[in-house]
Amino acid sequence: MLDPAIGALLAGLFALLFAVAAAQKLRAPSRFTEALAAYRLVPAGVARFSVLVPVLEALLALGLLMRATRVAAASTGAVLLVAYAAAIAVNLRRGRHDLACGCGGPNERRPIARWMVARNLLLAAALAAAALPWNQRPIEAADLLTIVDGTLITALIYASLDRLLSRVSPRGARLQGLA
């Protein structure tokens, strides 16, 4: 059984991740539609329904925060992250290394990379852990501090590592106009 403080920390982290991802895609839905279509994994007619992806991400963010829907949201979110990893892996295998990942903001053109596949699979495994049964012990004040501070610190570390790894490759720097 998962400790409720760890479970709440995971649920909070992934709710934040999916909420930010949804907001970024909804800021410029046509850019996300272009990015999705560029992966060449769905028929062109299906890509026009790309707005459903950020809607799903927003619903996952909400679902992770509610006890009644947490397991379904965690399971669905893990599957979505695996699907993202698979889409990137397929295109890397096709040799399409300069394809923009579609995972940053609307004005960010980050190329897909192997580390993104590994990241998404690792995230999927961590999110799947939030679907495990939670111990029913009461949450204490120290737990709340752990949950809030742990969420903020982990989110900052994640954002820093994501930014660093996206700028390390020369191809990424060229695509972003940094080199």
At 117-153, the pLDDT tens digits run 999 999 999 999 999 999 999 999 999 999 999 999 9
Question: Distance (Å, rounded) from C-alpha 29 to C-alpha 48?
Answer: 10
Kindly tell me the burial class for residue 32, based on how many C-beta atoms sit within 10 Å of its own C-beta (0-12, 13-18, 19 or more).
buried
Question: How many CA within 13 A on the CB side of residue 34?
Answer: 9
Per-residue pLDDT for 46 more than 90?
Answer: no
| Residue 173 confidence (pLDDT) | 47
| Residue 145 confidence (pLDDT) | 93
Mean pLDDT within 151-172 = 82
**Is 84 or 47 the better-scoring residue by pLDDT?**
84
Question: Distance (Å, rounded) from C-alpha 65 to C-alpha 57?
Answer: 13
Q: Where are the domains of the chain?
A: 4-175
Mean pLDDT within 90-101 = 92
**2 falls in which pLDDT band (50, 70, 90)?**
very high
Question: Distance (Å, rounded) from C-alpha 1 to C-alpha 123?
Answer: 19
Mean pLDDT within 46-74 = 94
Question: Distance (Å, rounded) from C-alpha 11 to C-alpha 17?
Answer: 10
| Residue 109 confidence (pLDDT) | 77
